[in-house]
Structure 1
Amino acid sequence: MPIVEVKMWSGRTEEQKEQIIQGITKVLEDVGVPAEKTTVIITDYPKSNWGTKGVQASKL
């Protein structure tokens, strides 16, 4: 049973999150994993809690 974790900045709508879940599930179905075996976990982070290239993402 694959578990796919998506960690991203906050701000996506519920509809966009649903599209992400459906898209990931479809990719796994395409390689033979039944949808009922796939779990997708989305975790949202505020940009102020994320750093990249030594800079707080909210300042990029």
Structure 2
Amino acid sequence: MPYVNIKVTNEGVSKEQKAALVLGATELLQTVLNKNPERTVVVIDEVETDNWGIAGELVTERRIRGS
């Protein structure tokens, strides 16, 4: 049973976009690895930007600076 965990910052990802991610990841596993979509699990975690860092800096601070 494939398990996919997608992590995104909580910056306005819509329900429709999440559904597209779930479908896309499921179809990719079916196409590339011949996995049964009925047994594929996809979880999307939304992470606060204060809990996500890039290049030694919190995403919140990068967003404030405009990077």
Per the alignment, residue 36 of structure 1 pairs with: 38
Per the alignment, residue 52 of structure 1 pairs with: 54
Letter in 1 for 2:5: E
Structure 1 position 15 matched with structure 2 position 16: yes
TM-score norm. by structure 2 comes to: 0.83
Runs of 4+ with deviation above 6 angstroms: none
- Tell me whether 45-54 or 16-25 shows the greater mean CA deviation: 45-54
Structure 1: unaligned runs, 5 residues or longer? none
How far apart are 1:39 and its partner, in Å?
0.2
Write the distance in 2 (CA, Å) between the matches of 1:13 and 1:46: 16
Q: Which entry has the higher C-alpha Rg, 1 or 2? A: 2
TM-score norm. by structure 1 comes to: 0.92
- The count of residues paired between Structure 1 and Structure 2 equals 60
Letter in 2 for 1:7: K
Q: Per residue, is there more helix in 1 or in 2?
A: 2
Letter in 1 for 2:28: V
